[in-house]
Amino acid sequence: MDWSERHTVPPDASFDGGNLDCGNGLLLLIRRHIDPLTPGQVLEVRSSESSVEDDLPAWARLTGNALLSRTRSGDVRSYLIRKAGTASSTAPAPRHPVDRERIPAGPSPTETAAAPGTIKPFAVMGVGSWPRPAWLVRALHERLAGRLPEDEFQQYADDAVRLAVAAQERAGVDVVTDGEQRRDNYASFVATRLDNCQLIPITDLLPYVTDPEHFAEELRALDVPAEKVRHPAVFGRLARSRPLTGHELNFARAVTAKPVKVALPGPYLLTRTMWLECVSDKAYLDREALARDIVSALRAEANDLLAAGAAVVQFDEPVLTEVVFARPTARQSFMCGALSERRALAEELAFAAQLLRAVLDGLPRERVALHVCRGNWSRDESVALSGPYTPLVPLLAELPVGTLFLELATPRAGELAPLADLPKGCRVGVGVVNQKLDRVEPIDEIVAKATAAAELFGPERVLLNPDCGFATFADSPVSSAGVAEAKLGAIAQAARVLRARYGLG
C-alpha cells in the first residue's frame, strides 16, 4: 500500500504504540483497542517503529481486518484499520434471552447435597462442556469485547447453566457439570480470571509462529475457525487473585442435588498454550518458570474446589496425544488451542508428568481425575489425531489420580488392551459414545463397549462417559444440545442394564 498525504476517513478510536514492534506488544495493544469497537469502525494506530510498516499489513491480512490507509509525518506513522465484520454480526445479546419461567430453578440451597457423595460403578457423566445457546455465545462475545458488564453476562450464564444441568438430569446422569457455559472454551477461559493474561484471537498470534502463512494454511486444513478461537497471551507474571471456577461450582451446586464435577485445564496444556516466544518470554525466562506459576494457581484452585464440595476435579490434558501422535516434522501444531513448539518426545512426556505430579501431590486421589483425548475442535474425524494409548500408559499409570476419563468410542483411540496395565486402584471413565456424530448409539452397542471394559478392568472400576465434551469451543460445538441429551440418555439406559447384569444396582 502506498503512503497517503492524509486519511480520508476519521478514526473512531486511536492510540500511540510508540516504538513497540509487533513482536514486543504492539499487537496486544491493538487488540485491547479494537475489541471494544463494533465491526466496521476504524482504529488509528500511531507508531514510530519502522518494522511495523511491513508487519502490520501482514497482521491485517491474517486477521481479516482492513488496512485502509497510512500516512507519515517525520518518524511517526499513522495507520487506519477497519474492524472486520458487519455492524449486525455482533449485535448485543437480547435482554431477555429465554423465558425464565421455563428454566428449571433446581433445588434450594438447603436441598443441595452438602457432601460430594460416592460415585458408584457405571456412573454416567459428561466430560465437561455442553452446547451453549446462541444468545449466550453472543453475550460472551460482547463481554469479551468489553461491551457487556460482567454481572449482566453472569445472569445470562446462570440461565444457560440451569438449562444444561436440567438436560443432564433428564438424561439420567449420576454426576453433572455446569456445561462450561461461562467459558469461551475449555482452557483459555483462565485468561479472563488470571492476572496479567489476556484473551486474543489465534489470528493475532500467527505472526509469532515460525511460518505464519504456512501455519494459517494448516489451521484451515484442520478445520480450525482461527478467527473465532481465542488464545491466552501472557504479558506479566501470572497470579490467581480470584478463583478460576469456584463461582461455576457454587452455582451448579445450588441448582442440583446431584454430585458436581468441575473440569480444569491441566498444567501441561496451559504451559503449552501460554508459552509463546516473543510474547510470554517478556515476563518469564523460560517455559519452566511459567509452568511454576501455572502449577501454583491450579493447586490452589483444586484445593478450593474440593473444600467447596466438588465431587470430582478433572484435569484436561488432550495435548499429551499431540506429543506422541502428531507428525514428527510438525514442531508447531494446533491441538485444542496449544500453539507452542514441543520438544523431543521423551523430554515432553517427562515435563508433562513433572507438572501433573506437582499439581496432584497431596490431593485426595479418589476425587481427582485426568481426561485425555485426541482433539475435539472439529466434527471432521479425519483431522483429529489417531493412535493407541500404548505410549501414554507408563505416564498415566504413575499419576496419583483416581479416575482416567478416556476417549475410547472412536476407532482413532485404538483398542482397550493397552490399558490393562493401569493401576488396579484407578477407575476408568470409558468413552462409549462419539460426541462428534449425530447418530445416537444403540443401547446394546454401548453395553457391548462397557462390558468389554468391565471384563478387562473389573465392573467396579468402570464409569461411563462420551469421548469428550460436546462443545469444547463455544463458537464451534460438535453436537447440538438435543443430540447431547440423547447420547447421555442412551448411556444412562445402558448403565441400568450393566448394573443389573453385574449385581451392582
116 belongs to a structural domain = no
97 belongs to a structural domain = no
| Same domain, yes or no: 135 and 25 | no
Which of the residue ranges 37-41, 205-209, 297-301 has the most confident prediction, judged by mean pLDDT? 297-301
Q: What stretches of 123-185 show up as alpha helix (H) in DSSP?
A: 134-144, 150-171
Domain boundary among 33, 50, 82: 82
> pLDDT digits over 117-151, tens only?
689 999 999 999 999 999 999 999 899 888 899 99
The number of distinct structural domains making up the chain is 2
Sign of CA dihedral 413, 414, 420, 422: negative
Lowest mean pLDDT among 189-198, 228-237, 458-467: 228-237
For residue 127, the number of C-alpha atoms closer than 13 Å in the C-beta half-sphere is 36
Q: Show Cβ contacts of residue 41 under 8 Å, excluding neighbours closer than 6 positions.
A: 12, 13, 82, 83
93 belongs to a structural domain = no
Helix (H) or strand (E) run with residue 433 in it: strand 427-433
Look up the CATH number of the domain holding residue 136: 3.20.20.210
Q: How confident is the model over 329-353, as a mean pLDDT?
A: 71
| Same domain, yes or no: 72 and 198 | no
* pLDDT value for 109: 37
> pLDDT digits over 365-381, tens only?
999 999 999 988 888 88
Cross-strand bridge partners of residue 433: 466
The pTM (predicted TM-score) of the whole model is 0.83
Percent residues over pLDDT 70 in the chain: 84
Q: Please state the three-class secondary structure of 369-406 as a single string.
A: EEEECCCCCCCCHHHCCCCCCHHHHHHHHHCCCCEEEE
Cα torsion 394, 398, 404, 409 to 10°: value is 0
More confidently predicted of 489 and 88: 489
- Characterize the bridge pairing of strands 427-433 and 462-466: parallel
| Same domain, yes or no: 209 and 274 | yes
Using alpha carbons, select from 439, 438, 435, 441 the residue that is nearest to residue 473: 435
6 belongs to a structural domain = no
Rounded mean pLDDT of the chain? Answer: 87
How far apart CA 417 and CA 317 sit, in angstroms, is 21
Using alpha carbons, select from 299, 309, 195 the residue that is nearest to residue 259: 309
How far apart CA 180 and CA 394 sit, in angstroms, is 30
- Whether 317 contacts 268, CB under 8 Å: yes
> pLDDT digits over 270-291, tens only?
999 888 765 666 789 899 999 9
Residue at 234: amino acid letter: V
* pLDDT value for 108: 42
| Same domain, yes or no: 39 and 169 | no
Domain boundary among 82, 100, 135: 82
| Same domain, yes or no: 78 and 146 | no
35 belongs to a structural domain = yes
| Same domain, yes or no: 323 and 463 | yes
How far apart CA 208 and CA 154 sit, in angstroms, is 33
| Same domain, yes or no: 212 and 133 | yes
Helix (H) or strand (E) run with residue 69 in it: strand 66-73
368 belongs to a structural domain = yes
| Same domain, yes or no: 67 and 129 | no
- Tell me the pLDDT band of 350, cut-offs 50, 70 and 90: very high
Residue that has been written with the C-alpha cell 442435588 in this structure: 257
| Same domain, yes or no: 380 and 242 | yes
Using alpha carbons, select from 346, 431, 339 the residue that is nearest to residue 391: 346
| Same domain, yes or no: 75 and 198 | no
Q: How many other CB atoms sit within 10 Å of the CB of residue 386?
A: 15
- Tell me the pLDDT band of 326, cut-offs 50, 70 and 90: confident
Helix (H) or strand (E) run with residue 76 in it: strand 76-82
> pLDDT digits over 24-83, tens only?
678 778 888 888 888 899 999 999 999 899 888 878 887 788 999 999 999 999 999 999
227 belongs to a structural domain = yes
- Whether 405 contacts 371, CB under 8 Å: yes
389 belongs to a structural domain = yes
- Whether 467 contacts 413, CB under 8 Å: yes
Cα–Cα distance list, 17 to 78, 301, 367, 473 (Å): 10, 36, 48, 32
Give residue 206's Cα distance to chain centre: 19
Residue-range definition of the domain harbouring residue 448: 123-501
Look up the CATH number of the domain holding residue 40: 3.30.110.40
Domain boundary among 82, 101, 134: 82
Strand spans (E) along 202-316 = 230-239, 261-265, 312-316
Q: For residue 84, is pLDDT > 70?
A: yes
How far apart CA 454 and CA 439 sit, in angstroms, is 24
Cα–Cα distance list, 329 to 262, 343, 392 (Å): 35, 11, 20
- For 483, left (φ over 0), alpha (ψ -120 to 50), or beta? alpha
CA geometry: angle at 385 spanning 379 and 390, to 5°? 135
Local structure of residue 365 (DSSP, 8 states): G
- Whether 287 contacts 271, CB under 8 Å: yes
| Same domain, yes or no: 307 and 376 | yes
| Same domain, yes or no: 78 and 192 | no
Local structure of residue 282 (DSSP, 8 states): G
User: How is the chain split among helix, strand and coil, in percent rounded to 5?
Assistant: 40, 15, 40
- Tell me the pLDDT band of 344, cut-offs 50, 70 and 90: confident
How far apart CA 431 and CA 107 sit, in angstroms, is 30
